Structure 1
Amino acid sequence: MYTFMVLFLSSFRTVSGLAIEKAGTVESVVTSVVASAVPLATKTSKSSGVPDYFQTTLGQFEGPTATGDAAFLAETNPAPFPSKSYIPVSPLETQVPIEGNSNDANIFQLHGELSHYFPNPDGWGVEELPLPPRSYISYLHMLHRHGARYPTLRSPAPTLAERLATANGKFDEMQPLAFLNSWTNKLGVEILVPIGKQELFDSGTLHQYMYGHLYPNNGSKIIVRSTTQNRMTESAEYFLSGFFGLQWPKNASLELIIEAPGFNNSLAGYFQCPNANKPVNQGGLNATHEYVDTYLVDAAKRFNTWSDGFEWSTRDVFAAQMLCAYETVALGFSSFCGLFSYEEWLGYEYATDLSFSGNNAFQSPTGRAVGIGWVQEFLARVKHQTINEPTAQVNFTLDSSTTTFPIDQALNLDFSHDTNIMAILVAFGFTQFATPLDPTKQIPHELVVSRITPFAARVDIEIISAPEPISSTRTRGTFQYVQGEPTQYVHFILNQRTLDLGRNFPECGSRSDGWCELNTFIKVQEKMLEASQYEYACFGEYDAVPYGTLGDGVPMGG
């Protein structure tokens, strides 16, 4: 039998250091569940005798779970095309001719947060160096996004799909949109698609090869954290199956934290940051709309010449690009992909970057605040402390107990969402992603969403123990150490490539390996809760400002 820990979250937030119940109401079903769940430590199921937090029947917190039609790629695939497949050894068909793709580039790595997982091919500006002899990794803190999924309910893609469903017979049979005369929407809602399950299983297998030695061999279980959303729960399960095998419940207890409004959850920090979901935080969306109305003007004209009585706006065409991404991961192939030029796919990526920059990162007034809860948990873990008072979105009820928040666990595995991971990187202070973008034209930048938070993105934070200080200028084959006391370092790896801590945090100094001394990094991060302006950013009253006005992930005048 699988072992789960489904735990109710406190709906408290910090105001002047006090625990004050969050105002407002939660859906009646949530209220009734919370009311009947006290005390959690002793309440058990009458039928099984197992405490509630080990039950798997709390389905009301799963979120939407509609599945879509089964893929039939053997019948629908128009390939083989006379070119290479961009995702080898994969069920996805990506051999799609793209106009203007003279360099044979991969447009499937330009799909922003909807991109099938791939490691950053260019790195983050620092050389990858191995561990020096006699040094070892003592702890891993992993933060992992869920796998590829169907569209969310708020996505423009299903809205366009509904319109197209009533437009049969309105597309020229001799033009590229002819397939829409018989097209139907086969996509489900929000749950993992088959390739998304594979992404997490593969990642679990990779992490077993990378970090399997950190699992204790004394027969004890580790605590793994995810949320109650269906795709989040299953992502953790598939990862654990890849890491441990199908017997993973013998090795890990899966702690599922309720993901819903009114509940503290550092893995979904936006639910305890109301301003993150209000018009005051739509600068990125506004910038995206401005850019979409620029780069897709010609595409909209092209689509309208192929249609009879169906009017395409630039935003409709943008939604069609999203359908390409969604159908590819869900069904294996999409006829929408080949409708766009390579330049238009570059535009799609840039439009997504604008959205994340302004809604979730340094150009957002809540960018730091949404992610600060997980940063505080990371600090507590590396200092081997529990959290015993209300702190941002942290559930101090859970985090005050070593049963649900282990402080000496070498292998720490957490699962979250793309926007939350972006906000966590901002809350840490990775300013290399802080450059404001231009909503009228593409400019060079490092906040490229497909390389930061594609499906199944992962941040691996290694804590490294060394017998002496490691030389800051080491290279492969050079002397590794300088004389001194044993030292610990922190090493950040985003999608299998090292982030340069010295570049983002001057206190860490310039190092050829991108690492930072752990004690120095802790001192830097201890200032970040105050820097996030959590109370004001999430609950204060302030005016929205145009995209590009903000630059540090906090409101003006906070």
Structure 2
Amino acid sequence: MGVSNIIESVKGFLAQGLGGSYKYSVLPEHRISSREPRSQSLQKSQEEKFRRTLKLAMTGLIAFAIFFVLVVSSTGNALNNKTSCDTIYQGYQCATEISRHWGQYSPYFSVPSEISNEIPEGCTVTFAQVVSRHGARDPTDSKSGAYAAMIAKIQGNATSYGSGFGFLEDFEYTLGKDELTKFGERELYNSGIKFYDRYRSLAASITPFFRASGQNRVIQSAKNFTRGFHATRVSDESAKADLFPYDIVIISEDEGMNNTLDHGLCTNFEEGAIDEIGDNSKGEWADTFVPDIQARVNENLPGANLTADETIYLMDMCPFTTVAKTDGTPTEFCSLFTAEDWANYGYYYTLDKWYGYGPGNPLGPTQGVGFVNELLARLTGDPVTDHTSTNQTLDADPVTFPLGSKLYADFSHDNDMTAMFSAMGLFTGTEDLDKTNRVGTNETSGYSSAATVPFSARLYVEKLQCGSDADEMVRVLLNDRVMPLDGCGSDELGRCKLSEFVESMKFAMTGGLWDSCFT
């Protein structure tokens, strides 16, 4: 509903509450002759005075109501501030040359697609699932402490500051810990708008089933998504009324809980040598690209003597201070490094995801098996068949895991989504990434951590009915890129028949090496 419509509604409400007209006639009218007794004339004068006073009061009340509505509207629209670097349909649009290389700390951006990501002509969407990462956040608790210590070290030991580094002398560390930033809230609000608009034919009459992993930033991301979705639905004159706020099923992240949106049950993955593969892989690359940057930084900060890890922390400050700003404009930290530095930095975090939770880790894809089996159940309407990370109690209850719905929205983390993509086989055609030489996305089938799991990343799985074809089709989009589904023989539009898509998920349906978690 627009502000003008709300104002008219307020006027109408106030008028109805005071007699149903804008005449403010709350006293009975009297027939008064031209020669009235003095008492009647006085009564008329008093009534007229009362009406004038009431009219002024009503005018003031309406003005206040209009002001209130505008303030509330402005507050609500603050999440969708048009001056922000974040946009509803294309995502982050500032400093694109470097922000596409901030790894999982990149704000969401729409990834170019070799195949048109529009709904194919002649097709109707009959089902849509979104899996979303939470929005931009402050650093984790441990990282925030490390960043603060790094800044304190610079300010306590640097004897001078080189060109461009001078702001560090008086920089005050104010980043929080773990929670969404205002920018991150807007990312999810915009994501809800975009999801509604894309699947409007369903969303106008169907409320999605919402589910979130139990960490606060994930829950708040889900709530902001629902706000954007609902606001768009309210503005859609063709949409049915709904009840808001929507219900959100929250799955606990407590230790030992079965949760397909948060890993933690596979012992051999969480502990020991396999757990170290990701760190070791990015460490090899750090040994290659960090020394030159480290030397240059320390030359500009004599006395600081930053370590290799602290040099990376200084680079981390660029994306984190950027998304800490309401509008998301890049900060001075970003200009301390070159475009080449950022490309190397992005590859550092790409290796971390690939070898930590992706195809480069022998048990990485296994962590996404439970979710894939839930997805198959939703696509086919059949009960979940899984013995890995699914919560069988929740999945057996139609309240907490309904089948037959046409819209689903789940909210999770970057690591878990990386495992889901791997379990689905989205990058099975990509060779393991080189750990000592940077490989571009042209050589990785489009894989990078920024292109797959930026803040507010989203995977769409949609089912299509096309023309007179009796077979429903499945298509998968990752951050707007139509993914080639090689395992099920996708056509030129990226579509596979539903039955063939399901058949291609054998890795998940057969347990995905889950037994290796405990041997």
**TM class by shorter-chain length?**
0.7 to 0.9
What RMSD over aligned residues (CA atoms) do the two structures have, in Å? 2.6
Structure 1, residues 144-195: CA drift from partner, whole Å, max 9, x if none?
111000111343x641321322542533145433322212211111110011
Q: 2:192–2:225: 8 Å Cα contact kept in structure 1? A: yes
Aligned amino acid, residue 294 of structure 1: T
**Aligned to 1:362, what secondary structure does the other structure show?**
coil
Question: Where in structure 2 are there 5+ consecutive unaligned residues?
Answer: 1-82, 235-241
Aligned amino acid, residue 98 of structure 2: I
Structure 1, residues 88-116: CA drift from partner, whole Å, max 9, x if none?
779x99977xxxxxxxx610111011011
Q: Which residue is equivalent to 1:539?
A: 518
**Aligned to 1:131, what secondary structure does the other structure show?**
coil
Aligned 1:149-188 pairs, distance under 5 A: 149-155=137-143, 158-171=145-158, 172-188=160-176
Q: Confirm or deny that 1:108 pairs with 2:94.
A: no
Aligned 1:161-240 pairs, distance under 5 A: 161-171=148-158, 172-215=160-203, 217=205, 222-240=208-226
Q: Which residue is equivalent to 2:468?
A: 468
**Aligned to 1:431, what secondary structure does the other structure show?**
coil
Aligned 1:105-504 pairs, distance under 5 A: 106-121=97-112, 123=113, 125-128=114-117, 130-133=119-122, 135-155=123-143, 158-171=145-158, 172-215=160-203, 217=205, 222-245=208-231, 250=244, 252-268=246-262, 270-280=263-273, 281-331=275-325, 332=328, 333-387=330-384, 391-432=387-428, 434-443=430-439, 444-445=443-444, 446-469=446-469, 486-501=470-485, 504=486
Give distance in 2, aligned partners of 1:365 and 1:187. 36
Deviation (angstroms), 1:308: 3.5
Give distance in 2, aligned partners of 1:86 and 1:351. 28
**Aligned to 1:250, what secondary structure does the other structure show?**
coil
Deviation (angstroms), 1:278: 2.3
Relative distance call for 1:405 and 1:174 in structure 2 (3 A) is: closer
Structure 1, residues 197-241: CA drift from partner, whole Å, max 9, x if none?
000000101111111332474xx8653100221111110110000
Q: 2:138–2:176: 8 Å Cα contact kept in structure 1? A: yes
Deviation (angstroms), 1:318: 1.2
Relative distance call for 1:181 and 1:463 in structure 2 (3 A) is: same
Structure 1, residues 438-477: CA drift from partner, whole Å, max 9, x if none?
11111232321111111111011111123433xxxxxxxx
**Aligned to 1:181, what secondary structure does the other structure show?**
helix
Give distance in 1, aligned partners of 2:308 and 2:182. 31
Give distance in 2, aligned partners of 1:170 and 1:93. 36
Relative distance call for 1:284 and 1:174 in structure 2 (3 A) is: closer
TM-score, length basis structure 2: 0.75
Give distance in 1, aligned partners of 2:200 and 2:92. 33
Q: 1:349–1:450: 8 Å Cα contact kept in structure 2? A: yes
Deviation (angstroms), 1:306: 2.1
Structure 1, residues 240-259: CA drift from partner, whole Å, max 9, x if none?
00001398753731111101
**Aligned to 2:397, what secondary structure does the other structure show?**
coil
Stretches of 4+ moved more than 6 A in 1? 92-96
TM-score, length basis structure 1: 0.70
Deviation (angstroms), 1:285: 1.4
Q: Which residue is equivalent to 1:517?
A: 497
Aligned amino acid, residue 272 of structure 1: L
Give distance in 1, aligned partners of 2:150 and 2:255. 31
Q: 2:136–2:183: 8 Å Cα contact kept in structure 1? A: yes
Of all paired residues, the percent bearing the same amino acid is: 28
Structure 1, residues 373-432: CA drift from partner, whole Å, max 9, x if none?
100101111221233x76211001010111111101011111111111110011111235
Relative distance call for 1:312 and 1:252 in structure 2 (3 A) is: same
Q: Which residue is equivalent to 1:18?
A: none
Question: Which has the higher Rg, Structure 1 or Structure 2?
Answer: 2
Question: Where in structure 1 are there 5+ consecutive unaligned residues?
Answer: 1-84, 97-104, 470-485, 541-558
Aligned 1:48-63 pairs, distance under 5 A: none
Aligned 1:8-19 pairs, distance under 5 A: none
Give distance in 1, aligned partners of 2:455 and 2:405. 27
